[in-house]
Structure 1
């Protein structure tokens, strides 16, 4: 697939125009694009469109600087192995461009390189850089909020959590379902609530049911860095209800025949969010209240949604990859006891959440 890049620099003293949500550039893009994202607040914005017929991707990058800017596609978020393009406009108005996964990296400088000087190469960008996992392809057309207007709903969210300036943080928080439904209800859709300013931090999260036999103090529900509260939340880690990662849809609607059952005589009262924050730039003083919202249907549907989880636990005993191997396949098997309750007609899979972090299939 071919990749085309349109670079633009923008200055703060320009006419304000209508812009997309989360976009800070005051300059209108050259063309209409299918997708856009703010890479760095008030500094860098990216637009792109995937053309499957021409097998090409057109990017447009806006960066608030008067020097050079760069955009690349990286296999792991760094410069090694990345395909990078660098562009700038010199003092005479001449345009220069040098070409050097789905992880987009970008950088910029404060001055243009002087290619006439012996030492006029592009200077090091210091901390004027960033990377972000972006799904360049979108395979579904999610519904809009207005479709669920008027429905009852509830949500689970982080409570102004101050994300540590560590590269990786797993934070666990237990919730009690906020509404006590006397009869069974069906959740028919959910919406992922990621703080707009923290799209670069929230890598993925899971929402799990807590074992019905577990009791908690409702006035002091467990929360904290997952490794620190592992004993308190160990009964809330296995039965995953929802999984979301970068690239997933923000709104998911269940099929019209089925819903996620809550309330009534069901014993599930507590849930836990395990939130993975990815902070490669070691940003500090970032406050997050991301989470999830469920929409409750007005009528019960014919079927309750079920879940099946299979794979390999990420422990040294279960998943050990030998060093210096180019290819390593991990096999996992489901014993007959897992599928013994399946109907003879089989099951219908309506959602899937494959997840192997940065690499794997």
Structure 2
């Protein structure tokens, strides 16, 4: 089963920033520069069935596009095209490893236009169905996908791509092709007046290290009455596009704790951070290379300016400086648009999933898909809605977050004994900290339950991984706003100790008072009868498929501690594990649309001719 998605794009480019000699052939709502240098730009549009893409490349060589479950050639759904002797050519292929990709038996990409122009530019316009339902093809999903690009200097020598037609460069780019709010639903209301403020790094000098988490504490605009934030977008310093991996902007508790350094910056999660992250845990917005701007629906705005609203923001930027260059100065950040003309609804955000804990989140080594989850109980949802005198809320976007081992996050939705369709089932290769807009808003009512299940691949690990390295959280962005902020669970300490007793740990050293576990982990808790800590004892076990399955079942059925935070009130309760009576079964795919495509066409004319399908099939037959 495919669990991750990536896009592979092969392009020819140079090393300096350039501009295409061709404007796009139509107006596109979405576009993305691929290589950070202006050598390749992708424009696209889509409907319920098809996605149309137009690729502009500083190249007179071949160009290809594909979707990969691994971010490599292996298992990729690849499209390769070029313009030669006035003819546009496109082929549908699949990757079988780090080698030449063979042709698919069924060609499912339609070349609409192909042309070359002065300055060495090539334009290919093509379309495919979002899901072809064919084994060699992969579905384009509403999640962020990795774009990996490369280029060759020339077209194939003959009329067909051969193993000798090598690319000369490759790189990566993340884009969310389908996960966008409807443009009409998010348009600014006529006559709405706006103001803007920037939250940037202030000109940080990056250290010569591969990964750097930078934090800056900044005040929100000083307003005396309620305002609405209606749009948030990235402002990336020119030339640093490849360095800025993602940005998170969190709201901070008010008043600030002693020692907080307003307008100061430092390395996140360290002694130089301007504020303890524990005081700024509620995200307002998340941006990464795969996300466009966040523009709220026309009737919705994120409120600030009232008594009790946050007055400070913590900007966190994750820099990826793979080459460890020294002396790079960056002033990237976010541009926030707001208005004093209040909209109908306030937006809000709450988190669900597994509480952050080194003691209760444990992942054994050698597991291909180890599930860990947490949920938001029907009582917490009901109490929050009733306290706000609301009959329902509407979730418009979600953001999933795990760390290195996370491969899939699903947000389940239950009403009574029935499970409803998933809010999200994120199968992308690198979905973390990405804001995904739902195709349709999901209504949450009193009595509903939400459950996040994260799956982790620890096949390349030889030791246990704990909650200091991994996490499982889903943030739900919704309206109208309630006071609900945190709704998460974790196994109780007693449940965890009962489980670990089954794996060779002496009981005398696992039953201190619960407070004795504060700020501890299994590496600190020593079983003196063995002279080893709990982590060492666990890692001495042989974690085969049976053991891993048993541990998974014990964790998922354990009694839990549930945290429901609403405003300044934080309620902890203990309850039995969630039991699902009628699980959701997705409807089978309906596949009744297939594109039978030419391999060759005249450029720059349209290159799909339905009347020549038999000729096309003959060409495919002889090529194969």
Q: TM-score, normalised by structure 1?
A: 0.72
1:42 and 2:87 matched? no
Task: Assess, with a 3 A threshold, how the Cα gap between structure 1 residues 114 and 56 changes in structure 2: closer, same or farther.
Answer: same
One of 162, 182, 185 as aligned partner of 1:140: 182
**How far apart, in 2, do the equivalents of 1:294 and 1:353 lie?**
21
Question: What does 1:188-267 align with in structure 2 at a 5 Å threshold?
Answer: 188-195=229-236, 197=238, 201-213=243-255, 214-216=257-259, 221-227=264-270, 229=272, 232-253=275-296, 256=299, 259-263=302-306, 265-266=307-308
Verify the 8 A CA contact 1:176 1:271 in the aligned structure 2.
yes
**How far apart, in 1, do the equivalents of 2:32 and 2:50 lie?**
19
Question: What does 1:95-174 align with in structure 2 at a 5 Å threshold?
Answer: 99=93, 100=101, 102-114=145-157, 121-125=164-168, 128-137=169-178, 138-141=180-183, 143=186, 150-162=193-205, 168-174=211-217
| Deviation of 1:229 (Å) | 3.9
Aligned to 2:339: 296
- Higher Cα radius of gyration: 2
Aligned to 1:24: 19
| Deviation of 1:159 (Å) | 1.9
Verify the 8 A CA contact 2:11 2:150 in the aligned structure 1.
no
Verify the 8 A CA contact 1:9 1:66 in the aligned structure 2.
yes
User: Any gaps of 5 or more consecutive residues in structure 2?
Assistant: 1-7, 94-100, 102-139, 409-424, 426-624
Task: Assess, with a 3 A threshold, how the Cα gap between structure 1 residues 306 and 71 changes in structure 2: closer, same or farther.
Answer: closer
**How far apart, in 1, do the equivalents of 2:364 and 2:72 lie?**
23
**How far apart, in 2, do the equivalents of 1:8 and 1:95 lie?**
16
Aligned to 1:14: none
Aligned-partner SS, 1:84: strand
| Deviation of 1:105 (Å) | 2.1
Aligned to 1:15: none
1:68 and 2:62 matched? yes
Aligned to 2:52: 58
Question: What does 1:255-334 align with in structure 2 at a 5 Å threshold?
Answer: 256=299, 259-263=302-306, 265-266=307-308, 268-277=310-319, 285=328, 287-298=330-341, 305-312=347-354, 317=359, 319-334=361-376
Verify the 8 A CA contact 1:205 1:243 in the aligned structure 2.
yes
Q: TM-score, normalised by structure 2?
A: 0.45
Aligned to 1:355: 400
User: Any gaps of 5 or more consecutive residues in structure 1?
Assistant: 12-21
Aligned-partner SS, 1:330: strand
Residue by residue, what CA displacement relative to the aligned partner does 1:12-61 show, whole Å, maximum 9, x if unpaired?
xxxxxxxxxx9931124455544322112231111223243xx3333332
| Deviation of 1:175 (Å) | 0.8
Task: Assess, with a 3 A threshold, how the Cα gap between structure 1 residues 273 and 96 changes in structure 2: closer, same or farther.
Answer: same
Task: Assess, with a 3 A threshold, how the Cα gap between structure 1 residues 124 and 225 changes in structure 2: closer, same or farther.
Answer: farther
Verify the 8 A CA contact 2:11 2:59 in the aligned structure 1.
no
Aligned to 2:76: 82
Verify the 8 A CA contact 2:247 2:288 in the aligned structure 1.
yes
Verify the 8 A CA contact 2:148 2:172 in the aligned structure 1.
yes
Aligned to 1:19: none
| Deviation of 1:174 (Å) | 0.9
**How far apart, in 2, do the equivalents of 1:188 and 1:219 lie?**
21
Normalized per residue, the structure richer in helix is 2
| Deviation of 1:260 (Å) | 1.0
Aligned-partner SS, 1:310: strand
**How far apart, in 1, do the equivalents of 2:359 and 2:181 lie?**
36
Aligned-partner SS, 2:78: strand
**How far apart, in 1, do the equivalents of 2:23 and 2:295 lie?**
31
Aligned-partner SS, 2:353: coil
Task: Assess, with a 3 A threshold, how the Cα gap between structure 1 residues 78 and 305 changes in structure 2: closer, same or farther.
Answer: same
Aligned-partner SS, 1:349: strand
